[in-house]
A and B are shown apart, each in its own frame.
Chain A
Amino acid sequence: MTPFVDIAFLILSFFMLVTKFKPPEPVEITTPNSVSTDKLPENDAVLVELASDGRVFFSMRAESNPEAKYQVIKNLNTTRNLGLTEAEMQNYMRVHSVGVPFSQLKGLLSRPVDQHKNIAQPGIPVKDSVSNELYYWVRDAISAFQGKKINYLIKGDNSAKYPDFKRVLEAFKRNEQFKFQLVTSPEDAPVGTPLYQTRNKPK
């Protein structure tokens, strides 16, 4: 019995160390698979999430300089006349991702973060170039991260439609950004394909 319990606690400590708790996300997204092996950047990254129903969410990964996140909301507040108070802008720092039009942003940020999951978020409008609000989010993220190389991550759901994905790309293209990283689940290269042969070449 004792060795058994020993092993059990060993496994327990392993799982406790390995587990990484994800921040709460407003929508569940199942990413497609790809053979890519590159790691996701943790810092200086802009993450756009595309839900299965076409809703678009914007978030920033800037743990090393949280100041950037504040800069973005401050810029948006002045350029888009959002009328946010200082407390609401501070509240944005704790928000993981945002998926509301500018008109509803004040309503969202006036509520505490732990209530956000109860609020229905209709997504950031990207439908046409006039009302493409994602463009402004990206524009201000670029100026907030000034001088740094920003990684643009796009995390789309399997069943999201291609036109929605295209509109997200357009928001970036209008900001003169052309390099993207798509978030995918890794899988192995299929046996017998050229990539498989390159990867398994004897050295």
Chain B
Amino acid sequence: MLRPTFLGFRTATSGLKVNQSVMDVIGQNISNINTKGYTRQRLDTTSLAFNTSSIKFGPTGVVIGQGVNANGTSQFRDPFLDLRYRTQAAKAGSEQVQTEALGDLEKIMDEINNDKINEQFSHLVEQLRNLTSNPSDPVMEGVVRTSAQMLTQMFNNYSNQIDTVRDQQLNYLEDGAIVRVNQLMENISKLNKQIRDDNLSGNPALELNDQRNLLIDELADYMDIEVVTTPLPIGAGKTIDELSIVLRGQTDADGKSIKLVDNDQFGKLDIDKVNSTDDKVMLKFTKIDGTTDSDFNSKIKGGQIEGYLKILNGKGDFATGTDNFEKSQGVLYYRSMLDTLASTFANEMNKLNISKEISDIPALDADGNQVKDAEGNLMYEHPLFWSDEAEITAGSIKISQAWLKSTGSYLINKNTPSEGNDDTGATDNILKMIDLFNKDHEFKTPGGVDIFKGKIQEFLAHTITRLNLQKADTQTSYDAYAEGQFQLDYARSSMSSVDMNEEGVNLLQYSKSYNASARLMTVLDEMLDTLINRMAV
């Protein structure tokens, strides 16, 4: 086969060009060594050879390749690792939100490090005991009343603080998580459009891909998502990928997957409403086609959004519906536990402060509510505790006006009068009040579900311990998922991050290759000089 005279120069030029490009890629890698989300790039090269298929006769003699060709840049990235990372992120996100909220609740209720409501119960019992040394003494009764008042104020305070935690969580969900999710969906769709346009014109848009992957990673923290890519033919046998994001494993009424982002379009997440009857937070999702899905709560599995819904909607034993978030123990569960404690305690105390037999007093109606007369006064003979609402709750419990205004002895010390003219020194009924703290009570939900049988303070300890255990559990899960997430990110980094040593070695290697190509050019030049100027002179 006839060899063109300047054939070797093409080979040398391609070597120079490709090695220069590699150096540029190395430069890009080194300069982005600390850029968040940057994926290490490489230049894809192939060796060049003659195409002999179009010539009439087969080539004679040896066929030698004609240099190197740069096909394009690509990234070191494993989509499977991305998938695993994002699944893990959704799990970690949910546990993280719950751990933080439960930590806030624990700060309110935990009594390991300082004395709070449990100690105040003990204080009240102590004052009642002191009263047995001086029954009917208005001064000593005043001390009991002050202690009881402190207790009611603590209940109010707990209830307030728990409500504050709930408001905060609702705020984090509404103005934090949901706003961010909507931003992310919008930004991802914008990047989708840019990347598609770039791809159409032959630009791989690797840096934009990195940006988009970062946003998808973040979105995975909020919801359990799945990334779907669809190849789109653009003619000449070429395809580009279109990206959409769906909720993993969830379908709408028509059995179609729920698309959060579809190429350059995106949906919108909102809080539909907060039910006034049961305080339930309802999410709605405006789909890409403009229709709304108002039963979006049931579609949420995993991610921070799930964490918020569990904390906000969770009622545990107090759940009446079948909503999956209602069954978990959220803020409302712990508030209801405190309400149960406050009402059980107050009603039992009120039932005791009577001078007649218990059966004479209409204590509770069929629904378990306190019976009040036309003026709204409790029908107890000498109520100790009171609520302006229909039922005593932790938030509304207070000392009754009658007790507050009493100047003499108000606590009944004896149910059955004695023979003589004075039994103000008797302690029988006060002992009954003390015994209230010693004996077992049955704690029930308003729906009548048994939640606990035991002493008043044991129920409180039971509630706090439940919180402790739940916090410890979610913390352990979170630590495990977060560690898994870190490990997966570590594995991802192992593939995608830039290594200084490698780039240094490449730097040396490719600068040498560049020099070699230049050398080839010089040698070829010398050969031509020999051929043209020196031969047959």
Q: Do A and B bind each other?
A: no
B interface residue numbers (CB < 8 A to A) = none
A interface residue numbers (CB < 8 A to B) = none
